[in-house]
Amino acid sequence: MAKYAEIKNGKVVTISFDPRTGWPQVPDTVFPGDFENGDGTFTRPTPVVSTTQIDAERDRRLLETFEFEGRIYQCDQEGQRNIAGAKSMAADAIALGAEAGAYDWQRLV
């Protein structure tokens, strides 16, 4: 079934399947809010992301786990304290002469 779009100021405002509208036929992938590029193609606008959404995604990721050197690490508050402690131990190991890429620094401290 053919799809037709009402386009105002280069923006698709309405979609119809009725050819009697007199609107131009558009591809099935066109939706209200899309922009007409002037060459028969259309572009979907970049979604607006709020700071609240960004904060929520950051918080979600902070509660996930990650893997390093085959070991799984948690990122909750306790996990973050453990990571901070390991960072401190790594800094001490560097001060004691640990070489780059040597992850067995726990034995040096």
User: Domain-by-domain residue ranges, the chain?
Assistant: 3-43, 51-99
pTM above 0.75, yes or no: no
* Closest by Cα among 9, 39, 12 to 28: 12
Give residue 109's pLDDT.
Answer: 43
Residue 30 CB-density burial (10 A; 0-12 exposed, 13-18 middle, 19+ buried): buried
> pLDDT by residue for the chain (109 residues), tens digit each?
899 999 999 999 999 999 999 999 999 999 999 999 999 899 999 989 999 999 999 999 888 888 887 888 888 888 888 889 888 888 888 888 888 877 776 654 4
Give residue 18's pLDDT.
Answer: 95
CB atoms closer than 10 angstroms to residue 42: 19
> Count H helices, E strands: the chain?
2, 7
Query: Hey, what are 83's tokens?
Result: 């990571």
Distance CA 98, CA 40 (A): 62
Give residue 24's pLDDT.
Answer: 95
- Neighbouring residues of 56: CB distance < 8 A, sequence distance ≥ 6: none
Residue 78 CB-density burial (10 A; 0-12 exposed, 13-18 middle, 19+ buried): exposed
